[in-house]
Structure 1
Amino acid sequence: MKTHSRSRAVRTPGGLSLRVDARALIVVLLLIVAMLAAGVALIGTGDAKIPAIDVLRTLAGNGNAYQDFIVNELRLPRLLVALLVGGSLGLGGALFQSISRNPLGSPDVLGLSQGSTAGALVVIVLFSGSATAVTLGALVGGLVTGVAIYLLAWKQGVHGYRLVLVGIGVSAILTAVNGYLITRADIVDAARAVVWMTGSLDGRDWTQVWPLLCMCAVLVPLVLANGRGLRMMEMGDDVSYALGVRVQRVRLVLMVSAVLLTAGATAAAGPVGFVALTAPQLARRLTRSPGPNLVPSLFMGAALLVTADWLSQRVFGADQLPVGVVTGVLGGAYLLWLLVTERRAGRI
């Protein structure tokens, strides 16, 4: 039986030959369109509703003073934070799942989100820190947790199953620590901590946009540059070594990048659940392509989070339901559907 490849060779003016998966390219383009459409709808949604045409006109610099303030100063930063956080979580989730070779190898399961939460809670509960201090605490907590998981999982290299098992154990410990910190807080700090732990985009402004943008501008090209090595590593370390891939170096670079992406996203918006878990799986199902699907996962994560934020405001009104609740419900429903589907197919 003949097999037909969907990849097409594209030769650049400089003489380089690139392989492009036609279906994956179409999926990415459709995700970009959906992401931008949801973004325009999100900007127009709120107490002061603005038609889509006026949103586009204002973004082009042709709106009145009132529209310019609402769109460019209040709502555009929130949209950009949603795009950057969603993209970071989608890409970080794809990296963790590919490195661990496990569809459950996401920051939600491995304990990175709980580590960022612990860092934020320490700042809130023990020091009553400012919003900036909470963000830094979450970032440090995520990074420390990532380093701890990597070191505990190390034994002549990092094996995927060992990484997942260590991550689950660390996650359980940190969940208990976070619960203890909440019990120590006074009522004001406890309420503040619970709101942060839910995951929300409320009140996000340009001060959150620029650090996220700089982080993505450095890490996304770095990850994509190591994408070939990651694809080779999915065939096993021995095969990768034979193909000339420096496995431990590539794995370390991508692990650090994934931890930074996840910790930065969590620091900016709180622990938004299930985006990192579901975005890579949805991207893989749409592209029907083997491999890590890094670019589709990135845009899928961005589209998911923007759509979830629009849905939370459209259905429940502005500032009534944090986006983390919506992603948790949708992600949990998808996970249950996936388990039922896999069981019916006899794979579990």
Structure 2
Amino acid sequence: MTVNNSDIIKYGYRRRQLRWTLVTILLGMLAFALCVAALLLGNTIYPLDTALRVLLGEQIQGATFAIGTLRLPRMLSGLFVGMAFGIAGSTFQTMLRNPLASPDIIGISSGSSAAAVFCILVLKVSGTLVSIAAVIAGIMVAALIYVLSRGGSFSGGKLILIGIGVQAMLNAIISYLLLRASQYDVPGALIWLSGSLNGIRMTRIPVLFLVIAIFGMVILFLGRHLKILELGEQSAVTLGVRTDLTRLLLILSAVLLIAFATSVTGPVSFVAFLAGPIAARLVGIGAPNELPSGLVGSILVLGADLIGQFAFDTRFPVGIITGILGAPYLLYLLIRMNRTGGSA
């Protein structure tokens, strides 16, 4: 009995599709379980039926405030922010064909952070104005990096190097502002810089959800073109992809995801950096990676938040925990790239 090549290709495609579907469902289930844990766990542990009654609008003394006012916004922000970081990080890494091409490595998150710190320490403002400034600054820094990397022809390596340089400059500005600020103002800025889900109110969630729904869908819609861009500029043009327009839409969508997520929680370290590679290992080579990366990002943020709250005597912001997880991977990646001559 002979098997032709088309049957082998179809079999391989079905296996990849099945693996992607199973992995995505399992990641979704794990993210849902962490969401439930985030609602139930705290100084008071509530049963599941009490949480459901509160979510359905019933007023229960103590539980309504704890779950509805404190834990629900915290859980939703962790879910949506993690998804935004995960999708955006995977988009940059795939498009630029480099695992170092993460928004928190190439300076975009630092742009939002510098603007937020300036507003907190110099302008003495907080809340919505800080978020607006963070979003605008993130977009402006991303535009600057993109324009500088366009000299001659577009180069992913050039964009990464320029981004790292811009990030170093912005981090220096942040350090200068912290050193010059009043000691009474610095703690607020440091809490924001650490990346925290503390104190988030429900009014912040609808805009974040809307941004993720719109621009996340744009990235998912362009997922096939994103995979073609990974093959290189010449291959993408040969296959009929309008590379400049596609790349611009992908970068704009990813930057808006990062900017709005950062404006809500601050720069949650290494989530955008870790989510893509973890998801790629789970779904396998050649499979769409954007949605699994978003779910992995949510899992990282929600899981790190639970660890930061309950695993130690002192409560730590979520960004501290994700930083502890991401730093060793960054060192490993740099060592591996050094040994292989720059290829991860």
TM-score, normalised to structure 2, is: 0.91
Matched residue of 1:107: which SS?
coil
Instruction: Give me the whole-angstrom Cα distance separating, in 1, the residues matched to 2:336 and 2:25.
Output: 28
Is 1:324 aligned with 2:319? yes
Matched residue of 1:38: which SS?
helix
User: 4+ runs of 1 displaced by more than 6 Å?
Assistant: 340-348
Tell me the equivalent position of 2:263.
Answer: 267
Matched residue of 1:204: which SS?
coil
Instruction: Give me the whole-angstrom Cα distance separating, in 2, the residues matched to 1:108 and 1:290.
Output: 25
Amino acid at match of 1:333: P
Deviations 1:151-175 (A, max 9, x none): 1111244211111111111111111
Matched residue of 1:326: which SS?
helix
Given the superposition, is the C-alpha separation of residues 342 and 253 from structure 1 closer, same or farther in structure 2, using an over 3 Å criterion?
A: closer
1:7 to 7, 13, 17: 13
1:109 to 99, 105, 108: 105
Deviations 1:116-161 (A, max 9, x none): 1111011112110122211112112211110110011112442111
| Superposition deviation, residue 209 in structure 1 | 0.5
Matched residue of 2:14: which SS?
strand
Matched-pair contact (CA < 8 Å) for 2:112–2:138: yes
Compute the RMSD of aligned alpha carbons: 2.4
Matched residue of 1:158: which SS?
coil
Instruction: Give me the whole-angstrom Cα distance separating, in 2, the residues matched to 1:65 and 1:272.
Output: 33
Matched residue of 1:110: which SS?
coil
Instruction: Give me the whole-angstrom Cα distance separating, in 1, the residues matched to 2:323 and 2:37.
Output: 22
Given the superposition, is the C-alpha separation of residues 52 and 157 from structure 1 closer, same or farther in structure 2, using an over 3 Å criterion?
A: farther
Amino acid at match of 2:75: L
Q: Which runs of 5+ in 1 are unaligned?
A: 10-19
> How many residue pairs get matched?
337
Matched-pair contact (CA < 8 Å) for 1:45–1:313: no
Is 1:201 aligned with 2:207? no
Tell me the equivalent position of 1:14.
Answer: none
| Superposition deviation, residue 92 in structure 1 | 0.5
Given the superposition, is the C-alpha separation of residues 22 and 190 from structure 1 closer, same or farther in structure 2, using an over 3 Å criterion?
A: same
Instruction: Give me the whole-angstrom Cα distance separating, in 2, the residues matched to 1:114 and 1:264.
Output: 13
| Superposition deviation, residue 111 in structure 1 | 0.4
Matched-pair contact (CA < 8 Å) for 2:89–2:101: yes
Tell me the equivalent position of 1:121.
Answer: 117
Amino acid at match of 1:179: S
TM-score, normalised to structure 1, is: 0.90
Tell me the equivalent position of 1:335.
Answer: 330
Tell me the equivalent position of 2:94.
Answer: 98
Instruction: Give me the whole-angstrom Cα distance separating, in 1, the residues matched to 2:180 and 2:321.
Output: 28
Instruction: Give me the whole-angstrom Cα distance separating, in 1, the residues matched to 2:249 and 2:184.
Output: 40
| Superposition deviation, residue 77 in structure 1 | 1.0
Amino acid at match of 2:317: P
Amino acid at match of 1:322: P
Identity %: 38
Matched-pair contact (CA < 8 Å) for 2:17–2:287: no
2:80 to 78, 81, 84: 84
Matched-pair contact (CA < 8 Å) for 2:178–2:186: yes
Tell me the equivalent position of 1:49.
Answer: 45
Matched-pair contact (CA < 8 Å) for 1:231–1:291: no
| Superposition deviation, residue 333 in structure 1 | 3.1
| Superposition deviation, residue 191 in structure 1 | 1.6
Given the superposition, is the C-alpha separation of residues 53 and 336 from structure 1 closer, same or farther in structure 2, using an over 3 Å criterion?
A: farther
Matched-pair contact (CA < 8 Å) for 1:45–1:314: no
Aligned pairs (5 A) from 1:271-290: 271-290=267-286
Deviations 1:243-298 (A, max 9, x none): 21111000000001111111111110001000000000000011112266111101
Matched residue of 2:91: which SS?
helix
